Amino acid sequence: MIIDSHLHFPELKEGKTFEDSRIRLLQDMKQDEIDYAILIPDTGSSPIGDLDTALKLTESDKQLFLLGAINILRDKPFILQKLDDLFHSKRIIGMKIYPGCELF
């Protein structure tokens, strides 16, 4: 069994949708013989998908697991409660903080 523990949805190209990105990711996983993946969304609107987009795209795929992500300087306190709720309802499996990307 192979689990890729740090993936993002492929970056959107002009004329493509996040659903296209999800399909491409699953095709790449099959080609590379990856059984499961842990996806990390972006902390804002982005061509690799934010948390809400990733939640929609992973809800029906048993191969895809999702981390929550937070920008502790920009995000509001209610985001922590949302992530906690998502974790306890098993919609996310953990949380990623980006010390190398976020300026804090």
What confidence tens digit (pLDDT) does each residue in 57-76 have? 888 889 999 998 887 777 77
> Residue 95, exposed/middle/buried by CB under 10 A (0-12, 13-18, 19+)?
middle
Cβ of 76: how many Cβ atoms within 10 Å? 8
What does the mean pLDDT of the chain come to? 84
- Angle 51-58/18-31 helices, nearest 10 degrees? 60
Joined tokens for residue 84: 């906690």
Identify the sign of the CA torsion 3, 72, 81, 21: negative
pTM: 0.80
Output the pLDDT for position 88.
97
d(CA 10, CA 3): 17
Phi-psi label, residue 54: left if phi above 0, alpha if psi -120 to 50, beta otherwise: alpha
